[in-house]
Amino acid sequence: MDILNINNLGNLPTVETKELEIKEWDAKIVIRGLTKKMQVDLARVSQDKNKDAFDYQKELLKVSVIDPKLDDESIEKLYEFDAQVIDKIFIEISALNGIGSEEVQTEMSEEFQE
């Protein structure tokens, strides 16, 4: 293993992507893992006193769902559909980013539904 060459950062592997089947909608989306910059930006949203959990969720969807590309308007429309389907998307995003075990993800789903 060689020492990391700062001049070759562009050649490093990027974050993982995953095609996610949404059977309830007979469709699929492509999600990706978070870069460190995305994590920092999301942390800023979560700590902003003028923002709430919905703002954080919107930003998470915008950076994590890469196909189709989501914006505020499309997310607002998605939120009019079955909450359990939306929760599954968040659980898959969490799993892709290595956040929590299956038990933690189940707990997250239950919290979203409350």
Number of neighbours of residue 79 by Cβ within 10 angstroms: 13
* 15-113 placed in CATH 1.10.287: no
Encode pLDDT of 64-105 as tens digits: 999 999 999 999 999 999 999 999 999 999 999 887 545 544
Q: Which sequence spans correspond to the domains of the chain?
A: 15-113
Entry pTM: 0.78
Expressed in percent and rounded to 5, the helix, strand and coil fractions of the chain are 60, 15, 30
Contact predicate 16/33, CB 8 Å: yes
